[in-house]
Structure 1
Amino acid sequence: MYFPSKKDGWMGFLHLVILFLCLGLPILSGEWVGIFVVPLVLGVVNLLIWFRTGYRVKGEALVVHYGPITFKVPIHKIERVDFIKSPFVGAALSVDRMGITHSASKFLTVSPKDQHGFLQALKESNPHMVVNRP
Structure 2
Amino acid sequence: MATTYRSKVDGWLLIVLLGAMAVCLPAAFAALAQEQGWVAWLTVAAVLLLGFGLPLSLLFATRYTITADCLQVRSGPFRWRVPLAAITDITPTRNPASSPALSLDRLRIDYGRGRQLLISPRDQAGFMQAIEQACRKAGAGR
TM bucket normalised to smaller:
0.7 to 0.9
Greater mean deviation of Cα atoms: 24-33 or 116-125 = 24-33
- Which one has a larger percent strand, Structure 1 or Structure 2? 1
Confirm or deny: 8 A CA contact 1:76 1:125 kept in the other structure: no
Residue 3 (structure 1) shift? 0.3
Matches within 5 A, 1:102-121: 102-121=111-130
Q: Which residue number in structure 2 is paired with residue 8 of structure 1?
A: 10
TM-score by length of 2: 0.83
TM-score by length of 1: 0.88
Q: Which residue number in structure 1 is paired with residue 100 of structure 2?
A: 91
What is the aligned length? Answer: 129
- The letter of the residue matching 2:94 is K
- Which one has a larger percent helix, Structure 1 or Structure 2? 2
Gap regions ≥5 residues in structure 2: none
Identical aligned residues as a percent? 29
Residue 13 (structure 1) shift? 0.2
Closer/same/farther in 2, CA of residues 32 and 15 from structure 1, 3 Å limit: farther
Closer/same/farther in 2, CA of residues 63 and 29 from structure 1, 3 Å limit: same
- Once the two structures are superposed, what CA deviation does each residue of 1:75-110 show, in whole Å capped at 9, x if it has no partner? 111001110012221000000000111011111100
Matches within 5 A, 1:1-134: 1-27=3-29, 31=33, 34=40, 35-42=43-50, 43-127=52-136, 128-129=141-142
Please report the RMSD computed on the Cα atoms of aligned residues, expressed in angstroms. 1.7
Confirm or deny: 8 A CA contact 2:70 2:81 kept in the other structure: yes
Greater mean deviation of Cα atoms: 15-24 or 87-96 = 15-24
Gap regions ≥5 residues in structure 1: 130-134
